[in-house]
Each structure stands twice: as C-alpha cells, then as structure tokens.
Amino acid sequence: MTGSQGNAVLEVSDLTVRYGAAVALRGIDLVIGEQEAVAVLGPNGAGKTTLLRTISGLLKPAAGQIELDSHSMVGRPAYRIARAGFVHAPEGRSMIAPLTVTENLQLGAGRRARSDVAAGIDEMIELFPSLRARMGTKAGLLSGGEQQMVAIARALMAQPKVLAIDEPSMGLAPVVVDAVLEALRKVIDSGTSLLLAEQNARLALAVADRAYVLVHGEVVKSGNSDEFGDELIESYLT
C-alpha cells in the first residue's frame, strides 16, 4: 500500500444526488491520490453504488463537483468519462455474455492502438492466470469468480487512471476473493488508483490505504485503513 493524497487523481466535492425527492447522497467529499487505493464502505443501501454510478456519469448529481485530473466530469456523458480514465466495473460483473473472454477484453481496450491490444491481453492473463484456458469461452458461461476476473481485466484493458469496482467480493468463494485481492494489489503497484465499493469492510481494508464509511448517503467516518479497528467496523458496518 503506497498511497498518498499528494496529487489528487480524483476529487469529489460536496456531491449531492437525489432520486426524485429522496436524497441518496448528501455533501460527499472524497479524494483519491495517485497509486492510492480507497475503499467506500457501508451497509446495504448506504449509497456506495450510487456514488460510483454518479462519478462514472450514469447518474447526474444535483449539486457538487467531480474532477478527474483537475478536469470537471460533471455533465459529461459516461462514455467520455470512461475515455478520460475513470473506468467502472459495476456490481454484478456485467459481462457481454454472447462474446468470448477475448472479445470482452478487446472491448475494454477502447482506443488503445490495435498493435497494443494483444500485449494488453497477455498482461491480463499474467494477472489472472486461470483465464488462460477460458479465453475462447463465451463470458456468459463462466463461473462468478471468472466473470469477476474478466470484469476487472476488461476495465484494466482501458489503462484507467482510476479503476472503480463495485462489490468485487459479492457471491465469490473465499479462495477466489483471495485471488482477486492479490490481483488488485498488483494493479495498485502498477500505478493505477483504485476505488472499491464494498460491503465486506475487513476485506476492503486489507487492500485500501484509506476508507470512507457511508451511512444513509453521508460520510460518517474517513481515515487511514489502520484507524479502522474491529470496534469501529462493528459499530458502522454490521
């Protein structure tokens, strides 16, 4: 864990999101530095997914600012935010089921030079060796763990500045979760910043440098991961 907030890659200020009259997020401030891993923790319905969907442009904020590399992302369509470097692997993995693993990864390569795509796929196989034998398989036929690996690898193919993953451990066996976490550590070491939205606090804190705790759409606690003792986790997150 090498994080520092020195140079902010992503800066969210006073972000408010509404669903009709209901306020889903209120006054959220969040910063991610270069090569930093940040976890957004909270119980079900706290607003974690809403936060990621708003930063990635799928939802429009009612107020506040979102800056990626000091450029405002508010009002930009989601595909342009992805191209700018904030790539979001959503909850549920969102495989393009009729396409093979290779084709899913090629989709993620977006605007990378064609000559660079094969090298990128090789890097992803190195990151997730168990995918090697599954490259020609339709993504819809993979196990949940394999799909999660493809979702992360596909997002990484875009060479993002910030990789955002929603609930990466959901529904996965412990051994698969370990493999995913190990890969995420390598991703951070390679220079990509990470934003994890995760209900499983202990798991997220094992990867993240810092964490924010969301409850009912508000940040109730933030700090370095080592500041989150068992008692704190119990009080907010169970």
Partner 1 sequence: MQQTINGLASGSIYALLGLGVTLIWGVLHVLTFTHAQVLTWGAFGSLIAINRGYPVPVAILVGMAVAAGLSVLIDSTVLEMLRRRGASEYAFVVATIGLAFMLESILRNRTRARVEPYSRDGFPRGPIELLGQNVPKLQLAVLATSLIAMAGLAIWLNHTRAGRGMKAVAYSPETATLLGINPRFIYAVAYTVSGMLAALAGVFVAVSTASVSYSSGDRLLLTAFAVIILGGMGSVPGAVVGGLILGVIEVYATVHVSSKFSEVVAYLVILVVLLVRPSGLFGAKEATRV
The site for partner 1 (CB under 8 A) is made up of: 56-58, 77-80, 82-83, 87-90, 94, 96-99, 103, 106-108, 110-111, 114, 154-155, 158
Q: How far is the CB of 66 from partner 1 (least distance, A)?
A: 15
> Which stretches of the chain are assigned E, i.e. beta strand?
8-19, 22-33, 37-41, 63-68, 71-72, 86-89, 162-166, 193-198, 210-215, 218-224
What is the strand order of the sheet 71-72 is part of? 22-33, 8-19, 63-68, 71-72
Q: How far is the CB of 79 from partner 1 (least distance, A)?
A: 5
For residues 105 and 153, the answer to whether their CB atoms sit within 8 Å is: yes
Q: How far is the CB of 101 from partner 1 (least distance, A)?
A: 13
Place of tokens 């977006």: 110
Nearer to partner 1, 23 or 99 (CB): 99
Nearer to partner 1, 69 or 178 (CB): 69
Q: How far is the CB of 90 from partner 1 (least distance, A)?
A: 6
Nearer to partner 1, 106 or 225 (CB): 106
What CA–CA distance (Å, rounded) separates 50 from 64?
14
**3-state class of 150 per DSSP?**
helix
Nearer to partner 1, 83 or 216 (CB): 83
